[in-house]
Amino acid sequence: MGRRVRAAAIQLQCKLGDISYNIGECERLAAEAGQAGARWIVLPEFFTTGIGFSPALTGKALPPDGDATALLVSVAKRFNAYVGGSFLCRDADGETRNAFILVSSGGPVGRHDKDIPTLWENCWYIGGKDDGRFRADDLDVGVGLCAELGRTVTARRLRGADLIVGGSFTWHPPEYLPRWLGRDSLDERFFRGISAWAQPFARLVGAPVIEAAHCGNLVCRDQLLPLEYKCPIGDGAKICAADGTLLAGRKPEEGPGIIVADVEVGQTEPLEVLPAGEWIRPLAGLGKIMWNIQQAHGRKWYRKHQVTNEDRRHRGV
């Protein structure tokens, strides 16, 4: 094993699509982490907007060098820290991606675009193809975002890393689904069952994991039905050791805040064998059906609504 670093993960209670408010909250919480001595500060996935099937997200993708990156740079310089988080990023090619950007006090370190959008996330961005690994001084750092941490292909590409960083925005079954139709069972087996990412992932890759998160409640439209989708957000921010031991955690019901832990970084032998299938905790039944239908619908919706007329002319479509 290597040395110890003080790391922090932020748990954010965002306002859907309100970039100014969310960046302000991230700045406040990141400053709290820096003042606690953290030299690795991780913001959650979609820290500028949150995510949902909502018109509040229309036009809210930021450029790679916009306000989101400016926040990361400002905090990194203020506390001489590594700071990273992901946001909806509108690139020069006209496409939007879920980009995790890591910076240090000396400038950019690297960028990872989440490979496969999850469910209604497909309505807002397309996937990336990079390996999600870069050097930070003498550390080999890997990045995993939300459902990426639930898939075997991610564990395979990040094995051998010294540290895994990333964030999540996880949601749960809608309140309109009655309990007698199995809402609690669906939540346990699908939503909560596969989204407890950090600890199993650490054991599969042999590296500590810093996972930032969201909390609060999500209110948006249902992706497929003419109904309001309302549910709790998150499975909690977590920092865990390479053997999966939870070093610090914050439950969603504890609200926004930070967690801080001293983490021993460095490559170790993974404690578990990679599963044979696509998912570390396999999808089954209704979960698998939901995945396939919503993925297909979201990709079609993105092409119809997110690609501008200028983009279409440029591509000849």
CB 70 within 8 A of CB 107: no
| pTM of the predicted model over 0.75 | yes
What DSSP character marks residue 78?
H
Q: What is the structure's pLDDT at 173?
A: 83
204: phi > 0 → left, psi -120 to 50 → alpha, else beta; which? alpha
Q: Share the mean pLDDT of the chain.
A: 91
Question: What is the signed CA dihedral for 18, 19, 25, 30, rounded to 10 degrees?
Answer: 150
User: Given the structure tokens 């990336």, which residue do they identify?
Assistant: 128
Domain annotation for the chain: domains and CATH numbers: 4-315 (3.60.110.10)
Q: What is the structure's pLDDT at 313?
A: 42
Span 211-227, mean pLDDT? 96
Higher-pLDDT residue of 186 and 271 is 271
Span 72-86, mean pLDDT? 98
Q: What is the structure's pLDDT at 263?
A: 97
Q: What is the structure's pLDDT at 277?
A: 87
Burial of 218 (0-12, 13-18, 19+ CB in 10 A): buried
| CA nearest to 145, candidates 74, 283, 16, 51 | 51
Per-residue exposure over 168-196, b if at least 16 CB sit within 10 Å of its own CB, e if not = bbbbbbbeebeeeeebeebbebbbebbbb
SS3 246: strand
Q: Is the pLDDT of residue 162 over 70?
A: yes
Which two three-digit tokens encode residue 125?
A: 């961005």
Backbone angles phi, psi at 100, to 5 degrees: -95, 120
DSSP state string for 8-58: EEEEE---TT-HHHHHHHHHHHHHHHHHTT-SEEEPPTTTTT---S-GGGT
Q: What is the structure's pLDDT at 190?
A: 60
Q: Is the pLDDT of residue 125 over 90?
A: yes
| CA nearest to 93, candidates 121, 69, 123, 64 | 64
SS3 219: strand
CB 8 within 8 A of CB 43: no
What proportion of the chain, given as a percentage, has pLDDT over 90?
79
